[in-house]
Amino acid sequence: MSSINDPIKGACLTRRRFVQGVAMGGAFAGLGLGSSALAAVMKQQGPETLRGTDFNLTIGEQVVNFTGAPRIGTTVNGSLPAPILRWREGDTVTLKVTNLLRETSSIHWHGIILPSAMDGVPDIATGFKGIKPGETFTYRFPVTQSGTYWYHSHSGFQEQTGLYGSIIIDPREPEPFTYDRDYVVMLSDWTDEDPTNVYAKLKKLSHYYNFNERTHADLMKDIKEKGLTATWNDRKMWNQMRMSQRDLSDVTGYTYTFLTNGQTPAEGWTGLFRKGEKIRLRFINGSAMTFFDVRIPGLKMTVVAADGQHIEPVSVDEFRMGVAETYDVIVEPKDDTAYTIFAQDIARSGYARGTLTPDLSLTATIPEMDPVPNLGHDDMGMNMMNHAGHDMSGMDHSQHQMPDGKMMPVCRRPEIWI
C-alpha cells in the first residue's frame, strides 16, 4: 500500500520540464504582471490573504529565486507559499482549483474535518483521482472547526517545490485567550535541486546530506566519559537499528534554504507590532522534511493551541515542530525593540528567520546556531507517527474514521523520504 514509488513516476520534474516551466511562467505575463514582477511583489508582502466563502485557486509554475539561481516553483495564484485562506467556522466554503501544470495535481486540506470526497488525497479520498492538467475541481464543504491549519499538494513533489499555504479559521465563539493582532509564520524548506534527484540520492545513500555523523574521536570521548560497556551497549543499539544519534534529518541545509513566509534567512520576514500588544503567531511547519526548534530570544512564548486545538496555555522559551504541525503562541513585547524569530533545523544545518519589530528601521541580532544535539533512544521511538499523525515511516495509514462517520484526514506522505 506504500506509494513510495508513485511520486517519482508522477513528478518527473526533469531538467527539460523546468525549461518548459520557464515558458509557463512567461504565460503569467499575459495576466498583467511579468513573472519577475510577481516574484518581487511576493518577496515584499509574503502570501496574500483570501477571505470569504468562494475561492478560485490556480495551480501553476512560476520563476522563483531564493539562492541567486532562478528556479521553477509550484505556485497557487502565482504565489509561493500559496495564499493564506481565511475561513469562518460555520460557513460552507467553495474552492475551485484549476490545475495548469502538465501533471496531475491535488490539494489536501490538512487537519480539516470534511467528507472523504473533499479530502483531496488522490486515490484515497472517495472518488478523487487528482486534478488532471487543465481541469478544475470544485471542493465544497462545511467548516466545522476553527484554528490554524494548512493545505498542500498531495501529488508528486509539488509540496516540496512550493505548493503549500496556510488556513486560518476564525471561530464563532470567543476563544479562551485574547490578542491584538495575529501573523502566520509559515516555515518551509526550499531546494534548488530537482526533488526527484534529492530522492534518488537518498535512496542510494541515506546519509548524503548529513555531515554530522559521529566520528572516532566522539567514540573515544564516550568511552572515557561513560566507560566501555555503556558505550558499547549504546552503540550496539544504534547499529542494530542501522541508525545513529545524528540521524536528525535526511535532507539538510546543505541543499535546503529554510523559508519564513516565503522569505529566505538573508531577507527575513518582518511582522510589525505596537509596544504592549499581544501578538498571536500562528506557526506552521509546511516543510517537506524539516523539524524546527523555534525561539524568540528575549520573549516568552505562551503556546495556546496545537494543530488547531486549544490547549492549556504553557509558557516556553523554545519548542520543537515536526513536519505538518501547527502551534499558536502569544507573545507580548514590552519594549520598543526588534526581536528575531529563530527557527533552527533540528540538524543545525540552517535556520529560518523572521523579525518582530515596532519600527522597520530597527534590526535584531541573529543568534548563533546551537550545537548539534544527539538523539536519545526515546527520540527514535518505535512509534514512527509524528504528532500531526504524519507517518514518518513511509507507510500508508490513509484516514481515520470519526465517531460520526466522517473521515478525519491523515496524510499519506510519500514526500517524506524515509
Residues that bind Cu ion (CB under 5 A): 110, 411
Assess whether the previous peptide bond of 81 is cis (omega < 30° from 0).
Answer: yes
| Smallest separation, CB 36 to Cu ion (Å) | 31
CA distance 140 to 95: 6
Shortest reach from residue 196's CB to Cu ion, in Å: 20
120 vs 265 by CB, closer to Cu ion: 120
DSSP state at residue 366 = P
Query: What single letter denotes the amino acid at residue 255?
Result: T
By beta-carbon proximity to Cu ion, the closer residue of 24 and 57 is 57
CB of 215 to Cu ion, least distance (A): 37
Rounded to a whole number of angstroms, the minimum distance from the CB of residue 291 to Cu ion is 15
In this structure, what is the dihedral angle of CA atoms 410, 412, 417, 418, given to the nearest 10 degrees? 70
User: CB 120 → Cu ion: shortest distance, Å?
Assistant: 10
* Per-residue cell: 244: 545513529
Nearest residue (CB) to Cu ion, 84 versus 411? 411
CA distance readout (Å), 38 to 63, 180, 273, 279, 395: 9, 30, 27, 29, 38
Percent of residues in the chain assigned helix, strand, coil, to nearest 5: 20, 35, 50
Q: How far is the CB of 141 from Cu ion (least distance, A)?
A: 16
Q: Which is nearer to Cu ion, 279 or 411 (CB)?
A: 411
CA dihedral over 149, 154, 156, 162, signed as positive or negative: negative
Q: Which is nearer to Cu ion, 17 or 110 (CB)?
A: 110
- C-alpha grid cell for residue 330? 502569544
* Residue closer to Cu ion, measured from CB, 85 or 356: 85
The b/e string for 315-339 (b: 16+ C-beta within 10 A; e otherwise) is eeeebebbbbbbbbbbbbbeeeebb
